[in-house]
Copies of this chain bind each other. A is one copy, B any other.
Amino acid sequence: MADSTVTYEQLNDLSAEFDDAETELIRQDVIVKAPLYEKRQKLIAQIPNFWPLVFEQASPDIDEFIQPSDSSLLLNSLVNLTVSRFEIEDGGKGDPRSLLFRFEFNENEHFEDKVIEKKFWQRKAKCGWTGLVSEPVEIQWKKGKDLTGGLLGTVKKVWAARQAQTKDAASKASKDLTIDERALKKKIEDTGLGSMSFFAWFGYVGHNVSAEESQEATETARRERLSRQAGDETTDTNGANDGGNDEDDHDDENELEIFPEGETLAIAISEDLWPNAIKYFTQAQEQDEVSDDDFESEAGDEKEGEEETAYSDEEPPPAKRLKT
């Protein structure tokens, strides 16, 4: 081939083109499947314990974050989950990768909230990093029932204090932790991430990238890419968008993160648990199902409204027909 020199910039530019294509395909996906998700919502609203059973069948990359006490709380009180792409709802032109998780709960012994929502925004940082960022969400824990042992509340407090700082002060103070931050850091170390409650996920923050920084970085990267593609191969991007050292600028944020895998979990729920919920629910049913023969021999005699196939909160239904 005449030109046998391949640069990182060329590979990264192509990756960016793939990302753009993928983003538009996600937009299509959301539009095409919206009526199907509505239909699903109507069906599963009639099945108590649908979501708890789905969570019980979750793949290991979700299940590993669910402690026994979380599992028991979810099983007893999770009544609905919806995952939506809030930036493109109602004709919005935002990023289809941004996510809103809405959990609905019954009265339970742990917290007062009936609804807990968490938003993740797709952002691009000046250093080239792209991904989901969020804000800590508070939960109104009942006395002595906080599954995060106070961590979630502390995260919110620390985050609010940082938000209140001017940018100058934040930059000056960034190396010295405040009293609250030191307390948070110690609590995180004491808890150990392996035994962290699923509900600590609501405290995930991620990289500190504002909407403005993201928009600017996106535009700059696109401009540079176009200029390179127009033949100006000497454009010096000084490491921006080079994919090489994405994490460097943000390393110091991580020590106050109570749920470092927050983005991974958000993606696993939105791309696996949420779209495949019926599959997981069916799987849960099959595990407790009487054999098909048993079902079929009874089917003829079965009358609508009989109680033996009724679906209670305590146990999965034994037979083919699900009822509430």
Count identical subunits in the complex. 2
CB-CB nearest in chain B for A324: B4
Determine if B25 and A40 form an interchain contact, defined as CB atoms under 8 angstroms apart. Answer: no
Q: Is the CB of A292 within 8 A of B245?
A: yes
Q: B14, B28, B39, B282: which contacts A278 (Cβ < 8 A)? A: B14
Contact A5 B36, beta carbon cutoff 8 Å: no
A46-B6, A321-B5 known; A25+B32 contact, CB < 8 A: yes
Question: Using Cβ atoms and an 8 Å threshold, which residues of chain B touch A10?
Answer: 43
- Chain B residues with CB under 8 A of A12: 282
> Closest CB-CB distance, A234 to chain B, in whole Å?
11
Of the residues B7, B42, B46, B281, contact of A320 by C-beta under 8 Å: B7
Q: Mark A266-305, 1 if CB is under 8 A from B, else 0.
A: 0000000001001101100110010010000000000010
Distance (whole angstroms) from the CB of A32 to the closest CB of chain B: 5
CA distance A49 to B173 in the complex (A): 47
Q: Do B25 and A281 touch (CB < 8 A)?
A: no
Kindly state whether residue A223 has any CB partner on chain B within 8 Å. Answer: no
Q: Which residue of B lies closest to A4 (CB)?
A: B324
Cβ–Cβ contact A323 & B39, under 8 A = no
Whole-angstrom CA separation of A261 from B33 in the bound complex: 30
Residue contact B46 to A18, C-beta cutoff 8 Å: no
Choose one: B4, B42, B292; the contact of A46 (CB below 8 Å).
B4
| CB-contact partner of A11 in B8, B43, B45, under 8 A | B43
Can you spell out 20 A-B residue pairs with CB atoms less than 8 angstroms apart? A1-B46, A3-B46, A4-B46, A4-B323, A5-B322, A5-B323, A6-B322, A6-B324, A7-B321, A8-B282, A8-B320, A14-B39, A14-B40, A14-B43, A14-B278, A17-B39, A18-B278, A21-B36, A239-B292, A245-B292
What are the 4 closest A-B residue pairs judged by CB atoms, nearest first?
Answer: A4-B324, A6-B322, A6-B46, A15-B278
Residues of A within 8 A of B (CB): 1, 3-8, 10-12, 14-15, 17-18, 21, 24-25, 28-29, 32-33, 36, 39-40, 42-47, 239, 243-245, 275, 278-279, 281-282, 285-286, 289, 292, 304, 320-324
Query: Apart from A8-B322, A14-B36, what 7 extra A-B contacts exist at CB < 8 Å?
Result: A1-B46, A5-B46, A5-B322, A17-B36, A24-B32, A239-B292, A244-B292
